[in-house]
Amino acid sequence: MKFQIKHECRGRMRVQLSRPRMTLEQADLLESWIQALPQVERASVHERTRCAVIEYTGSRRALLEALGGFPGWDKAENKPVCGSSRALNRRYKEKLVGMVAFKAIQPLFFPAPLRAAYTVLRAVPYLVRGLRCLLRRRLHVEVLDGVSVFVSILRRDFSTASSVMFLLGLGELLEEWTHKKSVDDLARSMSLHIDRVWLKTEEGEVLVPLHEVRAGDRVAVRMGGMIPLDGVVAEGEIMANQASLTGESIPVPKHPGSSVYAGTVVEEGECVLTVSSQSGNGRYDKIVAMIEQSEKLKSAAESRADSLADKLVPVCLAGSALVYFLTRNVTRALSVLMVDFSCALKLSMPLSVLSAMSEASRFHITVKGGKYLEAVARADTLVFDKAGTLTYANPVVAQVIPFGGRSQAEMLRLAACLEEHFPHSMANAVVQAAREQGLTHEEMHSQVEYLVAHGIASTVNGQRVVIGSAHFVFEDEGCTVPTGEEEAFETLPRQYSHLYLAVGGVLAAVICIADPLRTEAAAVVSFLRHLGVKKIVMLTGDSERTAAAIAGQVGVDEYRSEVLPEDKASFVQSEREQGRVVVMIGDGINDSPALSAADVGVAISDGAAIAREIADITIAADDLTELVKLRLLSERLMDRIRSNYRFVISFNSGLIALGTLGILAPAASAMLHNLSTLALSLHSMTSLLPQTETPPLPGPQP
């Protein structure tokens, strides 16, 4: 790639490509490719100027060499799955500029009779919408708009009518733009984050990058995994959770010949699917349709605003009629009619919520509906899972203790062979440890059975092999410790969590897992309490000893150990029955029932696929401070909504009073009302939190 350096300072560079033009698709592709470079922190490409602004770390020379190695538009692999909002923004910017420019040139180039005729023509849609509401016996804001425009035209005040329609159109355009942009950003953040899949080949299953899969290929998906691509079930039977696309809470059975969709999750069973569409095709559009049709987007505050706005329309009409009856002054009555509360309420509240959801995505927080932000602001109880949530999502194998004369390497190899099929943090730790020791393995087991919150069972060389918790291995499976090795079993290192591996009903190895506490966990818990959360609880399937140690370090108010998934859900439900607003934070398949039972379920982004799909909010995996930002963002959103209410009521009441007294003419009332609505809407689109803000995490509160 040939380019020129136009400007640079430490850690930042602006380069311009040596090419005459750049398409939107090329800009998206180049931006995606640059952002994937290891030394690049942030990059943006501007297609009009053919410039790329790059923020980077490390060597300047290394960055320039990397940029020079761009493989070309056809060979770059980091193609955006669903593009960007670049085309959307350009379309609405052009509409906005065109609308304002046309309004500005009308008095200069069009004679008064032509402007009047154009105003009457533009008024027809407003009059039709108002009349349609009346015919349906509904007094909505469309009636006020239609009446105000009609009365202005009837009085031959074409300038006022034109200004009212211009401001109404401008507000509608901004609302549509913000809504589509927010939905677009939200859909993009909800898109699939699957890098590799198990491809069925003649030699067996092969782990390949997702972008290499083509239509007609066969892909294996097992319990707890996300279906990566649209396709048709070729082998096996599953129960698919399709809530992410259809909203159905009940899993749907899928048999050979049934269609399955990217982004849905296998709750039970396993299958082989024949791919019908490549990566990126269809999934994005489905998510957008789901968001736009979902009632989850509407928070209680928005619903109240809609309800109040509709109730105030007849009040405005009655007030206008009363002013005319008392004063017999059409101008004063029209001044009152030009002002309504519903326009600002209906416009600013959805913009506030959607803008907050879009802003959350910039902090790596995905919110599936506005009502969840409202619930987070009201939450007084937080329930944490431990593993992968309060502790790091990448535990490591600290030690492998073999039993029965077996070797450490062979036991780790066998454990990794079973665990690699399931996306859990402990399973990842086992697989990673085997990889680091160079322990490759073939698929030597039969069908793998995953038992939620217990473990994994399979058959190897005719013997049943199980791996999981002590409860699963020794109580459910009835396995025993080899004779003469009871003392070694009783003296297992107590500072670690343990995975028990048994072969043929006899303990074969204990894998010790070190799962260190997140460095920011205690400070986050303290800050959340400082922000008004009254009760913070930790639920874990670990032993009482491990749970007590972690709870003491984190500073939670209460903890429960050795709990099953149904126990977590029952606890959450009991808290809600006591009148508390509960937020559940988890990352695993075993957290899914509790995530579903809570007022708000928050999943960790690199947790199990089913947890992310069931959860209402997803946060980044690398830092729990996202929870603090989420709480702050939610609280500031509610503050903004309350502030908007106060402003709309007070300002418009003042305009009505001034219009009634004859101080404000109809045109001035309309102008001030619409300008205030526009200003309020623009204010509602501003950031609630600075993007660079990192909340100062205090120490433990006294």
- CATH number listed for the domain at residues 396-514: 3.40.1110.10
pLDDT more than 90, % of the chain: 18
pLDDT digits (tens, 9 = 90+) for 497-552: 788 999 999 999 999 987 788 888 999 999 999 999 999 999 987 777 778 878 88
Q: Give, for 190, the enclosing helix (H) or strand (E).
A: helix 158-190
Tokens for 254, please give them.
């899928």
The Cβ of residue 454 has, within 10 Å, a number of other Cβ atoms equal to: 20
* pLDDT tens, residue by residue, 586-598: 887 678 788 888 9
412 φ, ψ (degrees, to nearest 5): -65, -40
20-26 CB contacts, 8 Å cutoff, 24+ apart? 21/50, 22/47, 22/50, 23/47, 24/86, 24/87, 24/90, 25/83, 26/73
* pLDDT value of position 667: 65
* CA-based radius of gyration for the chain: 30
The pLDDT value given to residue 382: 94
Given a contact cutoff of 8 angstroms between Cβ atoms, the answer to whether 80 and 188 are in contact is: no
pLDDT over 90 at 481, yes or no:
yes
Q: What is the pLDDT of residue 81?
A: 44
pLDDT band at 308 (very low <50, low <70, confident <90, very high): low
For 115, other C-beta atoms within 10 Å of its C-beta total 16
Q: How confident is the model at residue 294 (pLDDT cuts 50, 70, 90)?
A: very low
Q: d(Cα 443, Cα 416) in Å, to the nearest integer?
A: 11
The token pair that represents 684 in the structure block: 């509602």
Q: Which amino acid is residue 598, in one-letter code?
A: A
Mean pLDDT of 605-610: 66
Going from N- to C-terminal start, the domains of the chain cover 3-80, 91-187+297-352+636-684, 196-279, 366-392+518-619, 396-514
pLDDT by residue (tens digit) across 119-172? 999 999 989 988 998 888 877 777 877 887 887 788 787 887 887 788 778 767
In CATH, 3-80 is 3.30.70.100: yes
If you average pLDDT over residues 76-81, what whole number do you get?
48
- Confidence band of 408 (pLDDT split at 50, 70, 90): very high
Amino acid at 467: I
Higher pLDDT: 199 or 75? It is 199
Structure tokens at 282: 């269809």
**C-beta of residue 520 within 8 angstroms of C-beta of residue 389:** no
Percent of the chain with pLDDT strictly greater than 70: 80
Q: Between 280 and 427, where is the model more confident?
A: 427
Mean pLDDT of 176-202: 67
Mean pLDDT of 346-358: 76
Span 254-281, average pLDDT: 80
- The residue length of the chain stands at 702
Q: Residue 438 pLDDT > 50, yes or no?
A: yes
CA angle 271-276-278, nearest 5°? 105
Q: What is the pLDDT of residue 158?
A: 84
pLDDT at position 80: 46
Thinking of the domain 196-279, which architecture would CATH place it in? Distorted Sandwich (2.70)
Residue 5 has pLDDT above 90, yes or no: no
pLDDT digits (tens, 9 = 90+) for 261-272: 877 778 778 899
Residue 452 has pLDDT above 60, yes or no: no
Among 270-274, 316-320, 361-365, 443-447, which is the least confidently predicted range? Answer: 443-447
Query: Residue 83 — φ and ψ, nearest 5°?
Result: 65, -150
Q: What is the mean pLDDT of residues 627-652?
A: 88
| pLDDT in the model for residue 82 | 47
Least confident of 352-356, 390-394, 574-578, 593-597: 390-394
> What pLDDT was estimated at residue 565?
77
Check pLDDT > 70 for residue 702. Answer: no
Secondary structure letter of residue 447 according to DSSP? -
Mean pLDDT for 39-68 is 86
Q: Is the sign of the CA dihedral 73, 76, 80, 82 positive or negative?
A: positive
What is the fold of 366-392+518-619? Rossmann fold (3.40.50)
